Structures are given as structure tokens and as C-alpha cells.
Structure 1
């Protein structure tokens, strides 16, 4: 039974956000920036954010050449431009809000490895550079084949290397710690171990039931639950996508520095100091990976290890230090879902594996939507 004090001060809020990942915390921060006197609570079912915010590989990127070329096959030029703009502005908001030092932001540039079957992406290089020029006022993608030997990639496997000077890397753990600290400094309350099991909307408020806990009340409720959103909105157009990630032990004389993609972005690797963080391969077994289970797909892990040996670190000795997985959310295209589900319940979800890039911006826009 709740005490008088708990009922008086711990139950009712102006705004409640479900999910303490990058979108959830960014939404809560934006709400406090727009309404400093409001009471804002974030509910998180785990000890750490459950999906991918603390489980991603730390890429501050907005899409490789072949990714954007693939997007252009599904969306008009204007919508693809707006997607890249959203990602770029989101990255700048994240940097400005937290500071580069706090997120260990490093601009080493990004590279895409094109094998023989992927060279068709080069047909779109000039078109995509022209499309993105108004945003960056510089050429985004250029050929950097001289780096193939410098990085130690086998020339028989990598036909072309495409360079992007705007891609960078961050420390995802430091980013989330900094977001949490900023939220706390603004008066946002965060409650972990709080599994939302149901909500009910009334004319003036929303009630939120917690597993083995009290029922909270608020004026506006936001779901930032990404791949787990079907639990609350069964008809929402979202498919979960599990991603396997590994990190090596320090590699003596590591030549690689930067962020790297291949196979339309389905594979991605980067250096972290003198280690390699490498993830992806979801397209090897798409149906199995449409899951919110955090197990490791051994078929994909085997492929990642083989690519480390044969493509990324050929002829070099390395050991795997740790393997984990994160859960992303996808749809028929890369456009996120940002909308009110009912007058008092909103959602900012389906980030398409671009949470680091768009999470801050989606949070700010979601906060504005809630306050309309």
C-alpha cells in the first residue's frame, strides 16, 4: 500500500516517457527545456536501456553510398534528402547538447568497401553527391582506392573504397551516461526496473500500470520503445531486427582508423583505440533475426569471424574479447514513426538502425508533438 507521501509526490506527473534509450532521454530533456516547471518521469523496464542505445557499435553516421542508393529505389529524391538531413541534424544536436569530449566523438571519416557485385552503387555516386550538396556544401562521397593497401584489405576482394569525410565514431556508453546526467540536471526523474504492462487514457489524464508496482498518472504519455512497441500497439508497422556485435582484444599494429561499411551497410566495423568493433550480417538470416530475443545467432557470428580473418584483418593475429546483441526496429522504408496514437499518447519509434544519428532530433520533435 502506498504511503500518503508516495501518493502525494511519486505518482502524478505532467509527462511520462516509456523507454530510457537515446530517444526517451532526449524526449524528456526536450520536454524540460520547453516546460522547465513540468514534472517529467522516464520509465525503463531494465537496469540499462533495453534495445540498442547501449548496445550499438558507436557509429556517428548517416548512411553509406550503397545504403542511400538503395533508399533511392524506394523513396523519392526529396524524401531521401530529408532522411539524410534528419540524421545529420540529429548528430549535430547530440554533439551540441553533450559536447564532443563527453561522447568521445572522433572524426576519422568513413569508408565503404565495394566488392565486384556492389560496384553498381558507383553509378549513383554523382547523383547522390548532387542531391546532398545543398546540405553539406561539399562533396560527400569520393573514391579512395589508395587506402585499400594502406588499410590492409585484400585487393582481390575489395574493388573500390568510397570515402565520406563526415562520418565519425562515438563511445555509446559515455553518450548514454552523459544523456542521463543531463536529464538528471534538468530535473527529469528516471525509474528503472519499471515494466509498463498497460495504459488507459481518460479525458484529462493517462493511467500507466507497472508490473508489481503502482499506477502512475500523467497528462501526456510518450512511448520510445522502438522494436518493443508492438507490445503496446499491435498494429504498428514495425519489425524488430537483432544485430550481433563483437569486439576484439587489442590488435598489435592495427592499421584501421575510421568507420567502415559493406554490403549496403548490413556489415559495419570501426576501430576503438587498437581494437575492432564489428557487427551486422542480419541479412544472412532475416526471418530469424526478426526477434526481440537477445540470443546470438551462431550462423551470423561464424560469418563475422570469417570476414574478420579474410577481409578485415587478413594475415593478422586477433582474438575475440566479447560478443553481444542489440535489438533495432525496421519498416518498409527508413522513415521513422513519429505520431500521436491517441490525443494523449504519442510514439517516436522505428529508427531503422540509425538511433545515434536521429535519436536526439526525434526526441525533440516528439516533445513538440506532445505539447501541441
Structure 2
């Protein structure tokens, strides 16, 4: 990389904090560092043209977990840990809204619904039986019942008779959110460079050498906010998880409003105006979907189209307008990894598919490790 004197001086000299990743976590970390260190030089490096993982590719769900997801978590986590996770997600959503404002992120409090397929009677009855218990453990946090049983008013087909409603869920516009975050970062004099891949780093006790392909520079500290791409960084505590998504063309007189989950959150859909966005299906082939490669597979896309045709939009014509994928970071635990790796190296990763909810809080906690 051939750099001029000016480029070296303004971007790569006397760097206090280098943040790797310009998504929700990385930019919130930068904003929190700016609050704490008003005179610091903060540089954000992003490998993609836009945030590479999931921050601009997610479905825009302001949610903290469906009833079946929370019940699933209770099988592998303690009750205290699950409540703490929900609390952190809820706090993260409030922090995001407070920082950016509801108008800027197009926050729409339509509520959230969980639907159960006809063949999933066991899962449905299980959730209904555990609903009072989950409401009880969450009541100290929300001061109200989170989940309730409702009849289907959306005209879905091949599902159980009732939906489970959550009034605290909402939709946001993912693109607007990230644009607003970027505006805040630039206004806070945080330097952002795109299409820069950190290939290695060396902690030298008093500083870190950061290597970008054939060029290196010195930073006092480095913070990794690379989520699904943090596998080697965390010695395998984070695994990549691809999420495939599609969106329809506008559908005349669409009467679906809200965010919807099914099958323990492995599928999710919502309206965007008069379109339906639908994603998920990695549980059909975990091995293939545990990847950092973007793309679609037939098995997942066929299942998504089948759900559209036979469950979500029965007896309605629809056209697929666009398909894409994003890379999440998951692991054996749903708790994010926010830790110091060495004297001057830190990371905030493993958001477990809940980046919109928890990302702002993880970014803030990451900055507060300094």
C-alpha cells in the first residue's frame, strides 16, 4: 500500500484506539470511547464496502427472544442466566433507541407473534403450558406479562389455532439505523476506513502493531467487533452462522403487520410496507450454514418459498424481489464474549443472532473494558 505523508499523518499516526468492524458493536464502541476520551484518535477499519457481517443484512427485528427460544435457552442455561440475557437485550434496545431516536430508525411498535405449524402440536402445547412460568420470571423486568395467547387474524394456514403475542417487540429499518450510526460516528470525529482487512496483529505490551496486508501501523489499543468472523480470535468460542433472507415484491392489500417467529426462532418474517421479508432455515443444514461464505442454498430457499406459499401467503400471488445472506456469530452459550485477550487487545463478539437487541450494549461494554 503506497501512502502519502498526508494519509499517514491523518489516518495512521498517533492512533489511540483501532476498532475492527464498523457494525452495531464497533460503532457503539467508538461512540462510547469518544464519550470517555474526548481527545483520543479513534480509527475504525471495515473489511467490506459496508459492514460485512449482519449489521446491514439483518431482518430489522427489535426483539429479545420468542417464548420457544427462551424455553430452549432454559434447557442449557440457568434461569438466572436466561433472565439476565433477556435483560441485556432489552437494555440494548433501549440504548439504541435513546442514542438514535425512534424516528431515525423507523421504530414501529407493532408487537411480535410466534406461530406454530400444524405438525408442531407438541411444541405448541409445551409453550402454552410454560407460558405462565416464563411470564413470572420476566415480570420483575417488564412489570407486566410478556406473552399471551391470541387468535390468528392474519389468515395464515397450516398452523395451530392460536398465536403467542408479545407487545414489547417492534420493527426497525436496518439501513436507516446503520446510516444514523455512521452519521453519529463521523460527527464524533471517528475515522472510518472501508475495505481494509486486518490480517494480523502483535501486542507489544505498550502498543499494538496492526497489519493490513502489506502495510502496518501502531495503535495503543485494538478492539475487535467482528462477531461471526471471530472464530480464530476466540479459539472457537464463536462459530459463524449464515442466515439466508428473501423479500417479496409489494403485495396489494397486504394485511400483515408485525414481527413473526416460528420453530424456536429459526424462521422469522415481517412486513416491510406491503412486502414480506422472510429468513432463516439454517437448522435444515447446520454444517453447511456454519460458514463465513455468503450465498444461498436450494434446501433453505425452497423451504422459505414453501412457507410463503403454504403458511404465510396462502391463496395469494407473490413474486420474490431479492435474496441475500448475512453472517451471525453463535456458540454453545448465548452470552456474548466481551473480554480482554491480552494487554492491549479486546473483543466483543458472539451476539447469537440478537445483534440489533444487544449490539449497542456489547459495544458499550467493550469500550468500558479499556
User: TM-score under structure 1 normalisation?
Assistant: 0.96
Kindly report the root-mean-square deviation, in angstroms, between the aligned alpha carbons of the 2 structures: 1.2
Aligned-partner SS, 1:326: strand
The CA deviation at 1:7 is: 3.8
Q: Which residue of 2 aligns with 1:357?
A: 357
Aligned-partner SS, 1:288: helix
The CA deviation at 1:2 is: 4.2
Q: Which residue of 1 aligns with 2:41?
A: 39
Alignment of 1:143 with 2:144, yes or no, is no
The CA deviation at 1:10 is: 2.4
CA–CA distance in 2 between the matches of 1:323 and 1:44? Answer: 23
Q: Which residue of 1 aligns with 2:156?
A: 153
Tell whether the 8 Å contact from 2:205 to 2:343 is kept in structure 1 after alignment: no
Tell whether the 8 Å contact from 2:11 to 2:43 is kept in structure 1 after alignment: no
* 2:128 pairs with one of 106, 122, 125: 122
* 2:138 pairs with one of 132, 157, 178: 132
Aligned-partner SS, 1:101: coil
CA–CA distance in 2 between the matches of 1:95 and 1:357? Answer: 10
Q: Which residue of 2 aligns with 1:198?
A: 200
Cα separation, partners in 2 of 1:22 and 1:162, compared to 1, 3 Å: same
Q: Which residue of 2 aligns with 1:222?
A: 223
The CA deviation at 1:8 is: 3.5
Q: Which runs of 4+ in 1 moved over 2 A?
A: 1-10, 156-160
User: TM-score under structure 2 normalisation?
Assistant: 0.96
Q: Which residue of 1 aligns with 2:17?
A: 15
* 2:102 pairs with one of 100, 103, 106: 100
CA–CA distance in 2 between the matches of 1:157 and 1:184? Answer: 47
1:190-213 deviation per Cα after TM superposition (whole angstroms, max 9, x unaligned): 00011110101112100101124x
CA–CA distance in 1 between the matches of 2:236 and 2:283? Answer: 22
1:198-254 deviation per Cα after TM superposition (whole angstroms, max 9, x unaligned): 101112100101124x312111110000111124x2613111111110000011111
Aligned-partner SS, 1:227: helix
CA–CA distance in 1 between the matches of 2:311 and 2:6? Answer: 61
Q: Which residue of 2 aligns with 1:89?
A: 91
Mapping of 1:215-294 within 5 angstroms? Answer: 215-231=216-232, 233=233, 235-294=235-294
Tell whether the 8 Å contact from 2:223 to 2:347 is kept in structure 1 after alignment: yes
1:117-147 deviation per Cα after TM superposition (whole angstroms, max 9, x unaligned): 32112221111101111111011000012xx
Unaligned 5+ runs, structure 1: none
Q: Which residue of 2 aligns with 1:367?
A: 367
1:97-132 deviation per Cα after TM superposition (whole angstroms, max 9, x unaligned): 000111111000000002313211222111110111
The CA deviation at 1:364 is: 0.4
Q: Paired residues, what number?
A: 364
Q: Which residue of 2 aligns with 1:310?
A: 310
The CA deviation at 1:159 is: 3.1
* 1:73 pairs with one of 72, 75, 84: 75
* 1:58 pairs with one of 57, 60, 85: 60
The CA deviation at 1:4 is: 3.8
CA–CA distance in 2 between the matches of 1:137 and 1:236? Answer: 38
CA–CA distance in 2 between the matches of 1:200 and 1:23? Answer: 23
Unaligned 5+ runs, structure 2: none
CA–CA distance in 2 between the matches of 1:216 and 1:92? Answer: 37
CA–CA distance in 1 between the matches of 2:193 and 2:3? Answer: 17
